[in-house]
Structure 1
Amino acid sequence: MALMMLASADDVFALRCGHKLVQIGAHKSEVLERCGEPDSVEERKAIRGSRLRHPYGSLEIDQFEEVLIEEWIYNFGPRKFQQLLEFEDGELKKIRNLSYGY
């Protein structure tokens, strides 16, 4: 259990931008309003889905969808960690500390 906590120690649940707070689940327009433009943006597409099978193989159902993933990086200067925000279809899913800013 302690090992799992250490592995995700860099993931955070909220980001403070000045006096405003952004939390997981926020829409990217809300993040832009509270934090301003990110220092960098990268986009990629991923396929999410599942495959359901009957134990005897008589039925197989595939459900897949394409998801747009955006990674935003905010650099708050050399005394603070850079922050990586990951959005899926416009919703904030993950906030992660990176190295110190510049």
Structure 2
Amino acid sequence: MRTFLLAVAVAVVWVPVVGQAASLRCGTGLVSDGASKSDVAAKCGEPVSRESRTESEEVKTKDGDTSTKRVVQKTFEEWTYNFGPNRLMQVVVFENGKLIEVKSAGYGR
């Protein structure tokens, strides 16, 4: 029995970690990583709420002995979908218009 448990523990350690892909099922439609806002709206309809924010990030690049800095603007939008009281609400996150994350929120109404 100990050998079996040791083998299971070793197997779990050696299993590669797989990242979660952002995806959302809306009826018969499915949207996933990289989908545009228009694609999500077409398949899932209009969200119950939209929030938007802009973040600035300083990016440094080096070319030989010369380094340059520039500021990059990123626009994030979060759309919330409420699929009713028996399902969790879903928050869809876009970066510069492309789907990057889907998060679950509390139960809908």
TM-score class, shorter-chain normalisation, is 0.7 to 0.9
TM-score normalised by L of structure 2 = 0.72
1:92 matched to which residue of 2?
Answer: 99
Which structure shows the bigger proportion of residues in helix conformation? 2
1:62 matched to which residue of 2?
Answer: 69
What is the percent sequence identity of the aligned residues? Answer: 37
RMSD of the TM alignment (CA)?
Answer: 2.3
2:80 matched to which residue of 1?
Answer: 73
Larger Rg: 2
Which aligned segments of 4 or more residues in structure 1 are displaced greater than 3 angstroms? none
Stretches of structure 1 lacking an aligned partner (at least 5 in a row)? none
The alpha carbon displacement at 1:59 in A equals 5.2
Q: 2:106 & 2:30 partners in 1: Cα distance?
A: 21
The alpha carbon displacement at 1:64 in A equals 1.9
Contact 1:81–1:100 (Cα < 8 Å) also in 2? yes
Q: Cα deviation per residue 1:40-99 (whole Å; 9 max; x = unaligned)?
A: 00111111332357xxxx854213211111110000011111111111111111111111
Deviates more, 1:82-91 or 1:11-20: 11-20
TM-score normalised by L of structure 1 = 0.77
Q: 2:39 & 2:81 partners in 1: Cα distance?
A: 15
Greater relative contact order (Cα < 8 A, sep 6+): 1
Number of residues of Structure 1 aligned to a counterpart in Structure 2 = 92
